[in-house]
C-alpha cells in the first residue's frame, strides 16, 4: 500500500512468487476465502441489528443445534468459493456430505474444509467466535469425481490453514508452511493489514485452558496435569498457574499464539460412553489449528500421537486435542505414556 502497510493480498502474492510453477490459483483462492471472512465479520458485528442471532431450528451432522449464523456463514463460504475455478470440492462442519463444485463452474486442483463459525454457542452472548479453514490438494481423479475419500489426507498434507477471529477487532491468521502471520481488518478500507508478522509461541507457559466441568470424566494423565497446575507453588510444579476457558477454540488458540498457554479438549469417559473419540473435529478444527500451532513453534497432540499424522477415517472424525506451548504439551504426552506403559505392564 502507498502508506507502507502490507495488505493480505500483497503478502500472499509476494509469498507465492517464491514458489516454482505457482499459477496464481492459490492466491486467488485465498482472496475468495478472505472475502468470505469479511462478510461473516460484518454479519457478526451487526448481530441483532440484521436479525442473524438465535437458533436456526435445525441440527448439523453431529446432532448439534445450528445457530442461524452457522447456516448463513456456511452459505457465505460456499457462494464465495464455488465460482472461481480453484476448487474441486468443499467440506464443512455444517454439511454431512462433501459439496462438489457445481457443473456450471470450472473445477480446480484444491479442496477446502472449514468450520464457518466455530464457538457458535457464544454468538448470542456477544463473545468472540471464529472461522477455521484448511486447504488440501485434490489427489488423482478427484477433480472429476470429488468424494469424501479425497479429503481423508493427514494434516501434514495441508497447503494452507488459517482462522478468522471475530473479536474486538477482526483478525485473520494464516500459515502456508512458512511461519504464521496475523492480519487485522481495517474496517475503514475493508482490507486485512499485516499487524502480527512471524507469530511464535513461548515454549513454557503459566496458563492452561480446559472445560473443568468435565473433570470427573477425564483420563488420569489429564487429571494429573491439571491437579499439578492447580496445586501451584505448593505442588510439584513449584509455581502458580492461571486458567482460562472461553469455549471458543479460535479465541483460545489466538491467546496462545499471543502469549503462550496450553489448550485441552481431551478424551473423557462421557465421550467414550457415547462412542466418540473426542469433541473437536479433525479435518476442519484440529488439523488446521495444529498446522498453525506447529508453525509458530508449538506442539499439538491427542496426548498419544501428533494430530497432523493421523490418517483420517471419516470427514467428521473427532479427536482429543492438546495444543500450545511445546514443553507443556510434551509433559501431558509424557503423562499419557507413563499411564499407558503402566497399564500394559
Ligand atoms: P462448535 O464447532 O460446535 O462451535 O464446537 C467447538 C467449540 C470449540 O470452539 C470450543 O473449544 C468447544 O466447542 C467448547 O466446548 P464446551 O462448550 O464443551 O466447553
Ligand atoms: Mg467448530
Same structural domain, 114 and 42? yes
Mean pLDDT of the 103-129 span: 94
Same structural domain, 177 and 224? no
Looking at ligand 1, which residue's alpha carbon is closest to its atom 19? 247
Of 246, 249, 262, best ligand 1 pocket probe by most atoms within 8 Å of the beta carbon: 249
The rounded distance, in Å, linking the Cα atoms of 279 and 118 is: 13
CA 111–ligand 2 middle distance (angstroms): 19
Read off the pLDDT band of 175 (50, 70, 90). very high
CA 31–ligand 2 middle distance (angstroms): 22
Same structural domain, 20 and 155? yes
Q: Is 215 within the bounds of a domain?
A: yes
CB atoms within 10 A of CB 109: 18
Looking at ligand 1, which residue's alpha carbon is closest to its atom 15? 247
CATH number for the domain harbouring residue 44: 3.30.540.10
> Which uninterrupted H or E stretch holds 65?
strand 65-67
From 196, 217, 235, the end of a domain falls on: 196
From 154, 177, 196, the end of a domain falls on: 196
Q: Name every residue whose Cβ is closer than 8 Å to that of residue 157 and which is 6 or more positions away in sequence.
A: 136, 137
Same structural domain, 175 and 274? no
Beta strands in 250-330 (DSSP E): 262-265, 280-281, 299-301, 318-319, 321-324
Same structural domain, 160 and 21? yes
Determine what percent of the chain is predicted with pLDDT higher than 70: 98
Q: For residue range 267-315, list pLDDT tens digits in order.
A: 999 999 999 999 999 999 999 999 999 999 999 999 999 999 999 999 9
**Per-residue confidence (pLDDT) for residue 20, from 0 to 100:** 66
For residue 80, the 8-state DSSP code is: H
Same structural domain, 211 and 192? no
Question: Is residue 181 helix, strand or coil?
Answer: strand
Same structural domain, 217 and 336? yes
Q: Name every residue whose Cβ is closer than 8 Å to that of residue 125 and which is 6 or more positions away in sequence.
A: none
Question: Residue 248: nearest ligand to its CA?
Answer: 1
Same structural domain, 227 and 109? no
Same structural domain, 134 and 278? no
Pick the closest to residue 134 from 291, 288, 308, 312 (CA basis).
288
Looking at ligand 1, which residue's alpha carbon is closest to its atom 6? 119
CA 107–ligand 1 middle distance (angstroms): 33
Pick the closest to residue 69 from 23, 110, 115, 108 (CA basis).
115
**Per-residue confidence (pLDDT) for residue 344, from 0 to 100:** 86
Same structural domain, 227 and 328? yes
Same structural domain, 66 and 103? yes
Question: Is residue 305 helix, strand or coil?
Answer: coil
Q: Is 52 within the bounds of a domain?
A: yes
Q: Is 305 within the bounds of a domain?
A: yes
Looking at ligand 1, which residue's alpha carbon is closest to its atom 11? 249
**Per-residue confidence (pLDDT) for residue 94, from 0 to 100:** 93
CB atoms within 10 A of CB 189: 10
**Per-residue confidence (pLDDT) for residue 66, from 0 to 100:** 83
Give the predicted TM-score (pTM) of the model: 0.96
For residue 306, the 8-state DSSP code is: B
Looking at ligand 1, which residue's alpha carbon is closest to its atom 17? 247
pLDDT for residue 21 is more than 80: no
The rounded distance, in Å, linking the Cα atoms of 180 and 95 is: 29
Q: Residue 164 belongs to what domain range?
A: 8-196
Phi-psi region of 70 (alpha: psi -120 to 50; beta: other; left: phi over 0): alpha
Mean pLDDT of the 167-196 span: 97
Read off the pLDDT band of 54 (50, 70, 90). confident
Which atom of ligand 1 approaches the CA of 120 most closely?
Answer: 4
Which comes out higher in pLDDT, residue 60 or 96? 96
| Domain count across the chain | 2
Q: Is 250 within the bounds of a domain?
A: yes
Contact 118 CB / ligand 1 (< 6 Å): yes
Of 118, 289, 321, best ligand 1 pocket probe by most atoms within 8 Å of the beta carbon: 118
Contact 74 CB / ligand 1 (< 6 Å): no
Q: Is 70 within the bounds of a domain?
A: yes
From 136, 170, 196, the end of a domain falls on: 196
Note whether 237 and 226 are within 8 A (CB). Answer: no
The rounded distance, in Å, linking the Cα atoms of 149 and 223 is: 36
Q: Is 202 within the bounds of a domain?
A: no
Q: Is 12 within the bounds of a domain?
A: yes
Q: Is 127 within the bounds of a domain?
A: yes
Contact 119 CB / ligand 1 (< 6 Å): yes
pLDDT for residue 58 is more than 90: no
Give the chain's end-to-end CA distance (angstroms, integer). Answer: 63
Of 119, 123, 130, 322, best ligand 1 pocket probe by most atoms within 8 Å of the beta carbon: 119
Contact 248 CB / ligand 1 (< 6 Å): yes
Which atom of ligand 1 approaches the CA of 118 most closely?
Answer: 4
Same structural domain, 69 and 188? yes
Computed over every residue of the chain, the mean pLDDT equals 94
pLDDT for residue 105 is more than 70: yes
Determine what percent of the chain is predicted with pLDDT higher than 90: 83
The rounded distance, in Å, linking the Cα atoms of 345 and 341 is: 6
Of 65, 121, 300, best ligand 1 pocket probe by most atoms within 8 Å of the beta carbon: 121
Q: Name every residue whose Cβ is closer than 8 Å to that of residue 44 and which is 6 or more positions away in sequence.
A: 52, 69, 117, 123, 129, 166
CATH number for the domain harbouring residue 277: 3.40.190.80
Q: Name every residue whose Cβ is closer than 8 Å to that of residue 183 and which is 6 or more positions away in sequence.
A: 8, 11, 171, 172, 173, 174, 192, 193, 194, 195, 196
- Which CA distances in Å does 170 have to 50, 53, 126, 131? 18, 18, 14, 11
Amino acid at each position: 500500500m502507498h502508506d507502507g502497510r502490507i495488505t493480505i493480498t500483497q503478502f500472499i502474492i509476494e509469498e507465492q512468487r517464491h514458489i516454482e510453477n505457482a499459477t496464481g490459483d492459490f492466491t486467488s483462492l485465498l482472496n475468495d476465502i478472505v472475502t468470505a471472512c469479511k462478510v461473516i465479520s460484518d454479519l457478526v458485528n451487526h448481530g441483532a441489528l440484521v436479525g442473524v442471532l438465535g437458533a436456526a431450528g435445525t441440527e448439523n451432522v453431529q446432532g448439534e443445534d445450528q445457530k442461524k449464523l452457522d447456516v448463513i456463514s456456511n452459505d457465505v463460504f460456499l457462494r464465495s468459493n464455488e465460482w472461481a475455478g480453484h476448487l474441486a470440492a468443499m467440506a464443512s462442519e455444517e454439511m454431512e456430505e462433501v459439496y462438489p463444485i457445481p457443473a456450471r463452474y470450472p473445477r480446480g486442483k484444491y479442496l477446502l474444509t472449514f468450520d464457518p463459525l466455530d464457538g457458535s454457542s457464544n454468538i448470542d452472548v456477544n463473545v468472540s467466535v471464529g472461522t477455521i479453514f484448511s486447504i488440501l490438494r485434490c489427489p488423482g481423479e478427484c477433480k472429476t469425481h470429488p468424494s469424501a475419500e479425497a479429503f481423508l489426507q493427514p494434516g501434514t498434507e495441508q497447503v494452507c490453514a488459517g482462522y478468522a477471529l471475530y473479536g474486538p477487532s477482526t483478525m485473520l491468521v494464516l500459515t502456508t508452511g512458512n511461519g504464521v502471520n496475523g492480519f487485522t481488518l481495517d474496517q475503514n478500507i475493508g482490507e486485512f493489514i499485516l499487524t502480527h508478522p512471524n507469530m511464535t509461541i513461548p515454549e513454557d507457559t503459566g496458563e492452561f485452558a480446559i472445560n473443568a466441568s468435565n473433570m470427573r470424566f477425564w483420563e488420569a494423565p489429564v487429571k494429573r496435569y491439571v491437579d499439578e497446575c492447580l496445586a501451584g507453588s505448593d505442588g510439584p510444579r513449584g509455581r502458580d498457574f492461571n486458567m482460562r476457558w472461553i469455549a471458543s477454540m479460535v479465541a483460545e488458540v489466538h491467546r496462545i499464539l499471543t502469549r503462550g498457554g496450553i489448550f485441552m479438549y481431551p478424551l473423557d469417559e462421557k465421550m467414550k460412553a457415547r462412542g466418540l473419540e473426542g469433541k473437536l473435529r479433525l479435518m476442519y478444527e484440529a488439523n488446521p489449528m495444529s498446522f498453525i500451532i506447529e508453525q509458530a513453534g508449538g506442539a499439538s497432540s491427542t496426548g498419544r500421537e501428533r494430530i497432523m499424522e493421523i490418517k483420517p477415517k471419516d470427514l467428521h472424525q473427532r479427536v482429543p486435542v492438546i495444543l500450545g506451548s511445546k514443553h507443556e504439551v510434551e509433559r501431558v504426552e509424557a503423562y499419557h505414556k507413563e499411564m499407558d506403559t503402566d497399564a500394559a505392564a
